Structure formats: C-alpha cells, structure tokens
C-alpha cells in the first residue's frame, strides 16, 4: 500500500522494529498476519494524524487501551484525534489497542508490552480486577503515567480519572424514570455489560438507591455480562422478558440497545421508558427515531483533552493543578441533540 510516511514513523506508531515493518511493506514473509495488520493499522492511524506527524515540538506518544464495544471505541478515537491539534505546541500522537471482549490476561499482556517498549502515557478503560491494577503499577514503576477513562481503578497507581460521577448519573436516570413512568405499573430492567466495570456498578448503585427511596413499589430486574454487544444482549433480554411479564422500562447501563429493543419487539411488548448512556452512533440514531427516551451523555472531547493534559502534567510539561472535577452529565432528548452528534 502506498503511503508518505518514513519507515521509522510507521515503526514507532506500530510499536515494532523497523526491520519488521520493512518485511511487511515489502512482502518478504516471515511475519505473522496479526503483525502485518498492526503495520497497516499504524499507517491508517498516521494518515488520520497527519497534521500531528508534521508538527515540531516535544512529542508525547500516548497509548489508548480499551475494552469496549466498537461503537464506543470509535467515538473515543474520533474525539481524541479531533483534540490532538488543540494541544500544540506539544505534539501528541496516539496508538490504539481496542478489544470488544477480552480476558484480564489479554489486557495485562497489552499493558506489559507497552511498559517494555515505552510510552509517554496510557489512557485506560478496563475492568477493576487485581491483575489490571498490578499491571498499572508496573507501568507507573516504568515511569509511564496512566489515566483511567470512563471507569476508574481507584486502588491502582493511576495519576487520575476522567469521566462523570457515575452514582450521580444513576440517580439522574432513576429520577427521569420515576417522572416519566408516573403511576403506570411495571418493572424496570437494568442492564450492565459486566459487573467488573466500576462505572457500571456505581451507576447501578445510584439508580437502585433513588428508586428504592422514591419508588419502592417498583421491582428492578438486573441482567449482566452481555458485554454491551447486540449478539449476547438479545438473548439476555429475551430471557428476562420471558421470566417477568411486568417489565415495562429499561435503564441501559452498558449498551446493546438495538438488541434490547429488538427483543421487546419480538415478544410484542412495549418499552414505555428507555434511558441509556453515551451518544455513540447507535444511540444517536435510536434517539432521533424516538426509540430512546433520553441519553445521559458527557463530552468525550473534553474528557480526552483532560486526560492528555494529565499525562503532560505528569511529565512536568504543564504546571500542577487542583483535582480533576467530574465531567458534566448532559440529559439529551430527541429535541436537544448536540450539533456534533454522530451521523
């Protein structure tokens, strides 16, 4: 494939040796297919970050490691790359390590590989499990600052967390749910992608606390481990609807909303209120079609800008600052969609 980038830049972006990149580009063989894919992804990343490659200044190479559905990781990539030019005169470049599903061991391997080859920082969305916390400690010991994004690892050596106050978000969802359901009967389905993500756990706790206090008569039916993926979410929702004929509303903490709505339609049930999180491309379309009641959203560009500044501050490039405040929670309906919402 043709490209305008020097071999050393491709190697740096891919985190591989120049010799390996040269073998891939010249079709010499002896390279695993996954390694060849890394090279081609690096060229695609460089093409999107072309402006950054041409800038001159202190360069920070930041690795973004995330376990999340493709729709969310795509939104994060777009938000970060939109923010990179605004951080000049520092030059930030990014490498992406995205997994829709992963065992903790795979995420640990990615983090340990970054620790060995070097990086100026890691922005991390990962489950709160001891193995990942230990890997963050090894990154810190190697002088690589870690910023947690969207979901925190509070017992780790991370330098900061960027995201919303998730308990407040869950409480907000409960308030909306109670207002919109009113006196109509019905149980509420709460859907988590996984019980190992702290942000989802805290949203669920905030939601449950307010519902218990304000609407103790309503039963909450929880499903989890759908990973936010439509393929797995559909079966979980269908099973829940079969078990409980009184489910009439949904608080979607972890995603998979297209599948959730399809499950309701396939059993001939209406969903009276549906509150979800994040204006990714799926939720934007569903909200425009009035199939979601509201989406609790936060400005990903602002979050990524703050995360990059925390990395720069850890290297002494920016002066010290006070604690990072939670991102603002936006209640988005079909009538107040942000102008920058995904198509």
pLDDT at 174: 98
In angstroms, the Cα distances linking 64 to 94, 124, 159, 272, 338 are: 7, 6, 15, 38, 25
| pLDDT at residue 51 in the model | 55
Q: How confident is the model at residue 85 (pLDDT cuts 50, 70, 90)?
A: confident
pLDDT band of residue 55 (cuts 50, 70, 90) is: very low
The pLDDT > 70 percentage for the chain reads: 94
Model confidence pLDDT, tens digit, residues 171-197: 999 999 999 999 999 999 999 999 899
Under the banding of pLDDT at 50, 70 and 90, the label for residue 341 is low
Calpha distance 126→93 (Å, rounded): 21
Can you read off the two tokens belonging to residue 86? 């605004």
- Whether the pLDDT of residue 319 is over 70: the answer is yes
Statement: residue 137 has pLDDT above 90: yes
Highest mean predicted confidence (pLDDT) among 1-5, 8-12, 78-82, 256-260: 256-260
pLDDT in tens, 190-208: 999 998 999 999 999 999 9
Q: How many other CB atoms sit within 10 Å of the CB of residue 12?
A: 20
- In the structure, what pLDDT confidence band is assigned to residue 90 with cuts at 50, 70 and 90? confident
User: Model confidence at 92, in pLDDT bands (50, 70, 90)?
Assistant: confident
Residue 57 has pLDDT above 90, yes or no: no
pLDDT of residue 21 exceeding 90: no
Structure token digits, residue 294: 């509201």
For the cut 50, the answer to whether the pLDDT of residue 56 exceeds it is no
How far is Cα 334 from Cα 11, in angstroms, rounded to an integer? Answer: 45
Q: What is the mean pLDDT of residues 89-93?
A: 79
pLDDT of residue 294: 98
Q: What is the rounded average pLDDT of the residues 38-48?
A: 74
SS (H, E, C) the chain: CCCCCCHHHHHHHHCCCHHHHHHHHCCCCCCCHHHHHHHHHHHHHHHHCHHHHHCCCCEEEEEEEEECCHHHHHHHHHHHHHHHHHHCCCEEEEEEEEECCCCHHHHHHHHHHHHHHCCCEEEEECCCCHHHHHHHHHHHHCCCCEEEECCCCCCCCCCEEECECHHHHHHHHHHHHHHHHCCCCCEEEEECCCCCCHHHHHHHHHHHHHHHHHCCCCCEEEECCCCCCHHHHHHHHHHHHHHCCCEEEEEECCCCHHHHHHHHHHCCCCCCEEEEECCCHHHHHHHHCCCCCEEEECCHHHHHHHHHHHHHHHCCCCCCCCCCCCECCEEECCCCCCCCCCC
Q: What are the tens digits of pLDDT across the range 231-245?
A: 899 999 999 999 999
- The percentage of the chain sitting over the pLDDT mark of 90, rounded to a whole number, equals 70
Give residue 121's pLDDT. 96
Whether the predicted model's global pTM rises above the 0.85 cut? no
**Banded model confidence at residue 20, pLDDT cuts 50, 70, 90:** confident
* pLDDT bracket for residue 52 (50, 70, 90): low
Find, among 213, 233, 214, 211, the residue nearest to 223 by Cα. 233
What average pLDDT does this structure show over 330-340?
91
CA–CA gap between residue 68 and residue 92 (Å, rounded): 23
- Range picked from 2-16, 54-68, 119-133 for highest mean pLDDT: 119-133
Query: Per-residue pLDDT tens for 252-301?
Result: 999 999 999 999 999 999 999 999 999 999 999 999 999 999 999 999 99
């Amino acid at each position: 494939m043709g490209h305008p980038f020097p071999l050393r830049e491709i190697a740096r972006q891919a985190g591989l040796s120049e010799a390996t990149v040269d073998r891939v580009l010249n079709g010499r063989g002896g390279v695993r297919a996954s390694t060849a894919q890394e090279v081609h992804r690096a060229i695609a990343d460089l093409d999107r970050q072309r402006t950054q490659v041409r800038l001159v200044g202190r360069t920070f190479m930041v690795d973004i490691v995330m376990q999340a559905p493709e729709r969310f990781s795509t939104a994060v990539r777009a938000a970060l790359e939109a923010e990179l030019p605004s951080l000049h005169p520092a030059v930030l470049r990014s490498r992406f390590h995205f997994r829709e599903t992963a065992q903790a061991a795979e995420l640990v391997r990615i983090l340990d590989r970054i620790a060995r080859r070097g990086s100026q920082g890691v922005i991390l969305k990962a489950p709160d499990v001891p193995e990942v916390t230990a890997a963050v400690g090894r990154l810190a010991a190697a002088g690589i600052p870690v910023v947690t994004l969207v979901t925190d690892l509070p017992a780790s050596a991370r330098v900061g967390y960027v995201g919303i106050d998730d308990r407040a978000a869950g409480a907000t969802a409960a308030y909306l749910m109670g207002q919109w359901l009113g006196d109509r009967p019905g149980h509420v389905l709460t859907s988590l992608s996984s019980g190992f993500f702290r942000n989802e756990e805290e949203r669920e706790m905030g939601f449950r606390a307010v519902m218990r206090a304000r609407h103790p008569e309503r039963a909450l039916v929880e499903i989890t481990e759908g990973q936010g993926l439509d393929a797995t979410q559909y079966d979980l929702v269908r099973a829940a609807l079969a078990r409980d004929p009184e489910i009439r509303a949904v608080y979607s903490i972890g995603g998979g909303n297209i599948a959730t709505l399809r499950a309701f339609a396939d059993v001939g049930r209406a969903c009276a209120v549906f509150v979800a999180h994040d204006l990714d491309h799926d939720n934007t379309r569903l909200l425009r079609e009035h199939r979601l009641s509201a989406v609790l959203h936060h400005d990903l560009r602002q979050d990524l800008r703050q995360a990059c500044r925390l990395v720069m501050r850890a290297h002494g490039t920016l002066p010290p600052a006070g604690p990072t405040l939670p991102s603002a929670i936006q209640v988005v309906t079909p009538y107040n969609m942000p102008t920058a919402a995904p198509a």
